Structure formats: C-alpha cells, structure tokens
Amino acid sequence: MAEINHFEYGWITPTLSYALSVLGSILGLVCAGRIRTARTHGQRAWWGLLSAWALGGTAIWAMHFMAMLGFAVENTRIRYDVPLTVASTVIAVVAVGVGLAIVGTGRLNPVRLIAGGIFTGVGVASMHYTGMAAMRLNGSLGYDTVRVVLSVVIAVVAATVALWLAMTVRRTLAIFVSALVMGVAVNGMHFTGMSALSVHRHEQATEVSGASVSTLLVPIVLAVIFGVVGLLYALLAAPTDDDRAASAYLDGRRLSEPAAPTPTAAPDPVGLRARSTLGQPGTPFPSRRDSSPR
C-alpha cells in the first residue's frame, strides 16, 4: 500500500479550498435570494442557473480541485482524465440546479426540502467520486465502505442545509455566516471521502496517461475568475428590491399628480385683442406709408 499525503503543500491548499467554498456559497445564496423575488419564469430560471453555477461550480467543484492540488501518492505521478473531470463539473452544477428547482418551485415544505437535499447530496458525492475516478496513477484505488457512506451522509445533510439557507436567509450577515458554515460542511465532506481512499501501487511501473495538474490549473483558474466576475456583474446590474420599490413609488406619484391646467386668456370685453396686431411675434411695425390712401 502506497503512502498518501493529502497536504503536500501544507495548509495552503485547504485554506484556498475553504475560501473558494465560502466565496461560491456567498454568491450562490445571493443569487438564490433573487429567485424568490423574480417576477417571471425566465428570471427565476436565470437566477437559478447562476446560483447553481456559484454553488456547484465554485463552492463545490472548484473547492474539490483546489484541495486535490495538495494530494500526492508516494513514488507515482498523478494525471487526470479530462472528459471525466469535465463530467464531474457538470454533475455538480446539474445536481445543485435540480435541487434548487425542487425547493424553489412552489411553497417550501419538508418534503420538498428533503427530496431536494437527497438529490443534491447524492449528486455532490457522485461529483466527488467521479473526480477521483478521473485520476490516473501507477496503482489501483480502494475505498473504505464505512467512510464512503459517512461522506455521502455528510453531503446529503450539507446539501439539505444549503438548500434551506438558500430559500430562507436574506440579510447580509446571515448570508455570510451561512456561507462559513457551508464551507465547513463542503470541506468536511471532501476530506472525509479522501480519508476513505487507499492506493495499492503496481509492482511494475507503467506510463501514466492524462493531463497533469499544471495543464488543468490555468483553464480552471480562468474559468473560476471569469465565473465569479460574471456573477458579480449580474448581481450588480440587476435591480434590487429597493430599486423596484423606488420605481413603483415614482410611477405612483406620476399617476396621482393632477394634469397641468390649460392656460386661459384674460377677458377682453371691448375686443381690443382682436383688433390689435402689436406685440404678436412676426407682425411688422405699421407705418404711415402703409396706411396712406392710394
């Protein structure tokens, strides 16, 4: 059995992975809050997609990859199968998106919350173990059944709590505290699943195929950066509840204000205004030549 090191670079990778999970949770919770205030189905779908990307893509999957940077196995290189790695990303985003759709359509009740939590939690666990299956190294992977089951239970509980928070929290402080808790839960699930792993190195070394960590690092970091910037832009550009309230107030004032009265002419009892041409724009000044008989 090969020796495994989960923290090859010390506390740098777990700290960065926790920061990513908190950042993604904050953005995901804020986007989920916009689902509740959306007026049309299209707006709800848009904010649901953004929330799923923030939670599934950043808080869960990007955190998983960042933590995997510190994973090393003695005397063997680690490569990654790109299609499986991409599939793990899609699984995470879709699982969170479906969970949000379950709890976000209709009135929130325990049945919807539990169903969404189970689906999302199993999806998150599937993402984790799909990402692990994407590893290519000179050895075979083994898992402890009890710890695998424990990691799935943690994922389901964490997903249920995350969906409940996404549908209930509104204030800024509550969102920040909830994101800190979600970060602990997501990292706890990841490292519990990693503790279940064992590697049995092959006696005869073979060539390991696949993409290296350094090859995947640049596109993943760019995707995370552009994703976060895009989420921030969407949140800042969209009108808030205060903006809608102010717009409704101004519209109400505009409709309630009386129309401006039409100006009326002053009384002219002797008809001087009809006979006078002076003082009217464009009227030439009369002269004696014009009034003399011909």
Running along the chain, 294 residues long, what does each successive block of 10 average in pLDDT?
85 92 93 84 89 93 91 88 93 94 84 93 94 90 94 94 88 90 92 92 80 85 89 82 68 69 60 52 55 52
CA-based R_g, the chain, Å: 33
Q: What is the DSSP letter of 61?
A: I
Spatial contact of 118 and 153, defined as CB atoms under 8 Å apart:
no
How many C-beta neighbours within 10 Å does residue 92 have?
Answer: 30
Both tokens assigned to 7? 């923290």
Q: Can you give the pLDDT at residue 280?
A: 54
Q: Can you give the pLDDT at residue 104?
A: 80
In a domain, 112, yes or no: yes
Cα dihedral sign for 64, 65, 67, 68? positive
Q: Can you give the pLDDT at residue 16?
A: 92
In a domain, 119, yes or no: yes
Main-chain phi, psi angles of 174, to 5 degrees: -65, -40
In whole angstroms, what separates CA 120 from the centre of its chain? 16
Overall number of domains in the chain = 1
Spatial contact of 95 and 119, defined as CB atoms under 8 Å apart:
yes
Range of the domain at 144: 20-238
Q: Can you give the pLDDT at residue 259?
A: 59
In a domain, 12, yes or no: no
- SS3 (DSSP) at 199: strand
CB within 8 Å of 280: residues ≥ 6 apart: none
Give first-to-last CA distance, the chain, whole Å. 129
CB within 8 Å of 95: residues ≥ 6 apart: 56, 119, 120, 122, 123, 124, 126, 127
In a domain, 289, yes or no: no
In a domain, 258, yes or no: no
In a domain, 80, yes or no: yes
Q: Can you give the pLDDT at residue 57?
A: 92
In a domain, 291, yes or no: no
Both tokens assigned to 186? 């997501």
pTM of the model: 0.79
Spatial contact of 109 and 167, defined as CB atoms under 8 Å apart:
no
In a domain, 281, yes or no: no
- b/e sequence 21-59, b meaning 16+ C-beta within 10 Å: bbbbbbbbbbbbbbbeebeeeeebebbbebbbbbbbbbb
Both tokens assigned to 86? 């991409």
d(CA 72, CA 267): 99
d(CA 148, CA 196): 6
Q: Can you give the pLDDT at residue 240?
A: 65
How many C-beta neighbours within 10 Å does residue 223 have?
Answer: 14
